[in-house]
Amino acid sequence: MSAEAWNSLILECADSNSLSTLLAVLLDLPTLRRIAIAKGIGAKGFRVEKASAQRLAPLLVKEAAKHEGLRGELAAALAQLQVGSQTQEQESVKSVLAVDPVQVKALELRLGKAEKKSLREAASARKARESLQKSLEDLEALARSEADLRRQLSQLSRDCEELRARVQESREPAAERQEKRAAQAHRERVRLEERVEDLEQLDRAHRLDEADFLSRIRELESLVQELDALLPRGKKERIKQFRKSQVERKDTPGLVLLYSREFLDALERITESDQHRIHVTLAQVVLGGLDQHGLRVKSLKGGGELLSLRSGLHYRVYFTRSGDRLYLHHVGTREEQDTFLKKWRG
């Protein structure tokens, strides 16, 4: 059949369901979808790309009766079908158009089976694609696992080499090990002998120095005895008493100084040279006690337990004593003493 004949047939049978069935049977599904997409034909409830031939054929026939361009494209697609002679084609078309509803239903069932078959094939292809994707992922996982195994194998190889070296060392003959131990022991013995010899030389040098010191001490003692014989009797007595007091001071425990805030503030107000002199005096107290001649420790009238000691020509340190603890309260000149006593008593 020519394109003109198909065009006329579409116009005559635009309202016939048989023409829609014929269109769905003669044209394949991709062709129907291509024509519908090209002409912008669609309906609510489905997409043209997913629509079946039974849905697209009635829409195309209905729109072809209104639009000449769509009608001409359908006629051209139908004219390309080469099935038998033109007369036979016309008769087969007319016979299809004149079939009863039972035949139409049979054709629709056949068309539905074809669509189901195509859907099954598409599902199979999708499953095959998913299976291929999964196989590729498994292959990548196997490749990573292989890389990890290769690294582990490399590490095991290095460990095996170390073990072989240790085993080789352990397999050395007992004679060689004994020789190594003997050589090491000999070196250690030689080192110790050299160390003992050095210590003996050092001890001999110390003994010689000690002998020199003892001889020098004896010479000095004889010289002291000669000088003592030249001293007057009063001087000798004073020296004897001084030595006795020094021995007693060594036996007594040292004193502990506790500074008050008032003492520290008063100390900051005097000059640095006087501060140094006061610190020297306090050091003498700690080391030698309060019985030293130059300190002049005395109690103050009306001061109770308050004591004073002299530091230099001008300054006095005022304190109280409790056992071996000296509590320092103030430091100042002799002229400031009355003012401090009034404050102390008040």
Please list the residues that pair with 321 across neighbouring strands.
326
- In Å, the largest CA–CA distance within the chain is 175
Residue 336 class from Cβ within 10 Å (0-12 exposed, 13-18 middle, 19+ buried)?
Answer: middle
84 and 142 Cβ atoms separated by less than 8 Å: no
Q: How many CA atoms are closer than 13 Å to the CA of 294, on its beta-carbon side? A: 9
Q: Which 8-state DSSP code applies to residue 252?
A: S
Per residue of the chain (346 residues), give pLDDT as tens.
677 777 677 766 666 666 777 777 777 778 877 877 777 776 666 677 777 777 777 777 777 777 777 777 777 877 777 444 444 444 544 444 444 455 556 655 665 676 677 677 777 888 888 888 888 888 888 888 888 888 999 899 888 888 887 777 776 676 777 888 888 899 999 999 999 999 999 889 888 888 888 888 888 888 888 887 887 888 778 777 777 766 655 555 578 899 999 999 999 999 999 999 999 999 888 887 888 777 888 888 877 889 999 887 889 999 999 988 999 999 999 888 889 998 888 7
Tokens of 320: 């109280």
List of E strands, the chain: 256-259, 298-299, 307-311, 315-322, 325-333
Q: Which helix (H) or strand (E) holds 79?
A: helix 68-79
Q: Full-prediction pTM beyond 0.85?
A: no
Q: Report all structural domains of the chain as residue ranges with CATH numbers, in order of start.
A: 3-99 (no CATH), 251-345 (3.30.2310.20)
Give the Å distances, CA to CA, from 175 to 4, 186, 204, 254. Answer: 116, 16, 43, 70
317: left (phi over 0), alpha (psi -120 to 50) or beta: beta
Distance CA 158, CA 160 (A): 5
